Structure 1
Amino acid sequence: METFPKIISVDDHTVEPPNVWRDRLPSKYQDIGPRIVRAPLKEMTFLGGKFAPVMGAPGDDGPIGDWWVYEDLHRPLTRLDTAVGYDRDEIKLEVITYEQMRPGSFSVPERLADMDINHVQSAVCFPTFPRFCGQTFTEAKDRELGLLGVRAYNDWMVEEWCGPDAQGRLIPLTLIPLWDARLAAEEVRRNAARGVRAVAFSEIPPHLGLPSIHTDEWDPFLEACNETGTVIAMHIGSSSKMPSTSADAPPAVGSTITFANCCFSMVDWLMSGKFERFPNLKIMYAEGQIGWIPYILERADVVWEENRAWGGVADKVHRPPSELFAEHVYGCFFDDAFGLKNLDAIGVKNVLYETDYPHSDSTWPKSKEVGESQMGHLPPDVVDQLVRRNAIDLLGLTEDGLWGPSAPKA
């Protein structure tokens, strides 16, 4: 491809610096709020989609890592959180310190430099310690502290990570207090007022012990997103339950079928009636790839056409699911040659590009080369649409692909 467009990645990640909550929480929470402790690892497993680390005591044997400690939670930083710059065979499930990760994982200037290396202009970043949609705060005992933790993260995300030093190249993605839809609506509106156009949510809320989207419980939140044009972004793993087949299945099994929860979630939304009740609602699936979408749409249309009367959706879903998908749903990919060969069955306007920096699946520093290889058969205008134009339109970016409030002024 003669000229590959500068990439707007809708799925990268930030590793939060140690001071995010220390600097923003009231002093009475300093000893129980999120903070970094350096300690040895006692043991750690990742089987059947379940991550189980155990922190050792000072003086214990074991590799030393930096751990987020919050109430009773001990969560280490691992090589899987930030793997870029390491050979594939060196990427293992092991604890690390901040000094052992690429600085672009947590520092804005170094992140912009790594984006330059990777032909990336702008990027949306999901969290690490809060998990993909803020499950960490949802599971906490102290709801007051949890709400403060969510707001502190959002303030850091908007004011610092995506602040003036980011030159409009980092696009904010905020969290909500998942345990209260009305508080969630308030947080959506608070952040929309300062230019935020994306909020993280769970693919399958019942996996978190929360109501499903088939109920009316989420309506205040959905109405806030509908009113403000805030995109609901759902990352694989945002259900705290990665797809797997058995408790002893190795991680490779889950890694192969990571798209499965996105698939289940999309069918939920298409059959929920929410898109007809909230016509401006947009949702996107990060790191779910796109090759699975055509068959699911075909099957959903057949079920809607032939079985909607007894299927419980005749009174709320009045159009074929494929039509609703075309207007409301976006799939995201970084490495899906099959999906690109079937782009017409998905819809060019419904696909976004990502690089997954700094995770082990990331195409960094060769996202441009990967894109050229996979999209070489597509017309330049289609490539431009996938790689940047769709993201500009969806996220309300400037014509140059920058986030408005932090974009350099002419």
Structure 2
Amino acid sequence: MDTHASTFPLIISVDDHTVEPAGVWQDRLPARYQDTAPRVVRAPLKEMTFLGGRFRPVMGEPGDEGPLGDWWVYGDLRRPLTRLDTAVGVDRDEVRLEVITYEQMRPGSYDVPARLADMDVNHVQSALCFPTFPRFCGQTFTEARDRELALLCVRAYNDWMVEEWCGPRARGRLIPLTLIPLWDPELAAAEVRRNAARGVRAVAFSEIPPHLGLPSVHTGAWDPFLAACDETGTVVAMHIGSSSRMPSTSADAPPAVGSVITFANCCFSMVDWLMSGKFERFPNLRVMYAEGQIGWIPYILERADVVWEENRGWGGVADKVTRPPSELFAEHVYGCFFDDAFGLRNLDSIGLGNVLYETDYPHSDSTWPKSREVGEAQMGHLPADVVERIVRGNAIELLELTSDGLWQGPV
């Protein structure tokens, strides 16, 4: 690996993304599901909008005019691959909301050897990758009508993630992140344990489950799932947008508005968790917020402590939150960032051990191929041992990687 003769530590990114190859489900499900399992077709785009945090694509029929793209077809769902799914290698001013084909994306988006090569270019040693077609916590399968098939799809994705994406070709440099059947916490617990037995230490979850029509973390509904995570040391990883509702202000607000306030769902979610009592019920439970940045955290912790201290009686949390929320945060919550100079200036108010680094490859926000240079510019004022912890040390500890920063597989 070319380290550019830099003293900057090799990066462990806790938020990158994979664009699933076309055969993930077709190759793994029984033959009777070939016509109903997720599959890719090439078709024209009829129209597509992204306003007010809502993404609305419409697939055209064969012979229709319009740009051709590759579309995932699954039940009633028609979901195209877009330039926003994989923007690396494209000039920022040329990144638009448009449909694309696999041939039009950088191969590192979906191909393991190409991904490792792009990680080398970017001074990245290891990476944890969120899904694309299933969406950030598997909402695609949660919304499906056929729950039997949906469960098979969740398991097939996890098998592909562990055995192929993070398999032998990855040489320990790709870290598995698995999905759960969100509609059934008991099945979710079983899937956590199945994957933990083969070395998986991270599972995707929604930052605000009620937005998906699911119970909140204030109920006991999720306790079987949380107990499994607590027992196995599996980190609950929540990406912005994993509630299928990106923050916005109005139905006609341009995407730029939402892009500025993407941290908001993480902020709301973190307060939910801190006031839920779950961290005291499940002392080994840990959660992380991918792409949420960190600069907003000090004020929220300050305010949460004030509310807990002064208003916990009428606030409905006195019987389940027995310690200041900031103490619970220090032991259970991790913020992830790729570009947050303000947060780095306020590390003492966040906690050095609660910060993780990311590169967001291959999305438009990604710092690829200059994540090392960006990191050096942001962290140049920090001591070397502090940079080491942020860029890789905390991730090694949280995800139970080897001391060299690699995923070791089944243990």
Q: Is 1:131 matched with 2:135?
A: yes
How far did residue 27 of structure 1 move?
A: 1.1
- Which residue of the partner structure matches residue 407 of structure 2? 403
- Which residue of the partner structure matches residue 279 of structure 1? 283
The answer to whether the Cα contact below 8 Å between 2:276 and 2:320 also exists between their aligned partners in 1 is yes
Residue number among 285, 306, 312 corresponding to 1:308 in the alignment: 312
1:260 maps to a residue whose letter is: A
Q: Is 1:332 matched with 2:336?
A: yes
What CA distance in whole angstroms lies between the structure 1 residues aligned with 2:141 and 2:6?
A: 47
Unaligned runs of 5+ in 2: none
- Which residue of the partner structure matches residue 149 of structure 1? 153
What CA distance in whole angstroms lies between the structure 1 residues aligned with 2:29 and 2:167?
A: 20
- Which residue of the partner structure matches residue 83 of structure 1? 87
- Which residue of the partner structure matches residue 106 of structure 2? 102
SS in 1 for 2:409: helix
What CA distance in whole angstroms lies between the structure 2 residues aligned with 1:351 and 1:372?
A: 16
Residue number among 246, 249, 253 corresponding to 2:250 in the alignment: 246
What CA distance in whole angstroms lies between the structure 2 residues aligned with 1:141 and 1:27?
A: 19
Residue number among 249, 256, 261 corresponding to 2:265 in the alignment: 261
Q: Is 1:389 matched with 2:393?
A: yes
What CA distance in whole angstroms lies between the structure 1 residues aligned with 2:257 and 2:119?
A: 31
Residue number among 174, 191, 201 corresponding to 2:178 in the alignment: 174
SS in 2 for 1:308: helix
Q: Give me the CA root mean square deviation.
A: 1.0
- Which residue of the partner structure matches residue 42 of structure 2? 38
What CA distance in whole angstroms lies between the structure 2 residues aligned with 1:363 and 1:406?
A: 31
What CA distance in whole angstroms lies between the structure 2 residues aligned with 1:174 and 1:126?
A: 8
SS in 2 for 1:147: helix
Q: Is 1:223 matched with 2:227?
A: yes
SS in 1 for 2:203: strand
How far did residue 19 of structure 1 move?
A: 0.2
The answer to whether the Cα contact below 8 Å between 2:198 and 2:410 also exists between their aligned partners in 1 is no
Q: Is 1:341 matched with 2:323?
A: no
The answer to whether the Cα contact below 8 Å between 1:272 and 1:313 also exists between their aligned partners in 2 is yes
What CA distance in whole angstroms lies between the structure 2 residues aligned with 1:168 and 1:18?
A: 23
Question: What TM-score do the two structures reach when normalised by structure 1?
Answer: 0.99
- Which residue of the partner structure matches residue 56 of structure 1? 60
What CA distance in whole angstroms lies between the structure 1 residues aligned with 2:220 and 2:16?
A: 32
Question: What TM-score do the two structures reach when normalised by structure 2?
Answer: 0.98
How far did residue 406 of structure 1 move?
A: 7.9
How far did residue 26 of structure 1 move?
A: 1.1
Q: Is 1:183 matched with 2:166?
A: no
2:213 maps to a residue whose letter is: G
The answer to whether the Cα contact below 8 Å between 1:103 and 1:110 also exists between their aligned partners in 2 is yes
1:124 maps to a residue whose letter is: L
The answer to whether the Cα contact below 8 Å between 2:239 and 2:292 also exists between their aligned partners in 1 is yes
The answer to whether the Cα contact below 8 Å between 1:45 and 1:52 also exists between their aligned partners in 2 is yes
The answer to whether the Cα contact below 8 Å between 1:181 and 1:221 also exists between their aligned partners in 2 is yes
SS in 1 for 2:66: coil
Q: For residues 362-391 of structure 1, what are the alpha-carbon distances to aligned partners after superposition, in whole Å with 9 as ceiling and x for unaligned?
A: 000000000000000000000000000000
The answer to whether the Cα contact below 8 Å between 1:162 and 1:406 also exists between their aligned partners in 2 is no
- Which residue of the partner structure matches residue 352 of structure 1? 356
How far did residue 213 of structure 1 move?
A: 0.4
Q: Which segment drifts farther, 302-311 or 27-36?
A: 27-36
What CA distance in whole angstroms lies between the structure 2 residues aligned with 1:319 and 1:72?
A: 47
The answer to whether the Cα contact below 8 Å between 1:123 and 1:170 also exists between their aligned partners in 2 is yes
Q: For residues 72-98 of structure 1, what are the alpha-carbon distances to aligned partners after superposition, in whole Å with 9 as ceiling and x for unaligned?
A: 000000000000000000000000000
The answer to whether the Cα contact below 8 Å between 2:200 and 2:409 also exists between their aligned partners in 1 is no
How far did residue 2 of structure 1 move?
A: 5.9
1:330 maps to a residue whose letter is: Y
- Which residue of the partner structure matches residue 376 of structure 2? 372
Percent identity, please: 84
Paired residues, what number? Answer: 407
What CA distance in whole angstroms lies between the structure 1 residues aligned with 2:409 and 2:42?
A: 36
Question: Segments of 4+ in structure 1 off by > 6 A?
Answer: none
- Which residue of the partner structure matches residue 74 of structure 1? 78
Q: For residues 3-24 of structure 1, what are the alpha-carbon distances to aligned partners after superposition, in whole Å with 9 as ceiling and x for unaligned?
A: 1000000000000000000001
2:133 maps to a residue whose letter is: F
What CA distance in whole angstroms lies between the structure 2 residues aligned with 1:65 and 1:286?
A: 28
What CA distance in whole angstroms lies between the structure 2 residues aligned with 1:379 and 1:386?
A: 11
1:3 maps to a residue whose letter is: T
Q: Is 1:299 matched with 2:306?
A: no
How far did residue 319 of structure 1 move?
A: 0.2
The answer to whether the Cα contact below 8 Å between 1:22 and 1:34 also exists between their aligned partners in 2 is yes
1:361 maps to a residue whose letter is: D
What CA distance in whole angstroms lies between the structure 1 residues aligned with 2:107 and 2:85?
A: 13
SS in 2 for 1:121: strand
SS in 2 for 1:404: coil
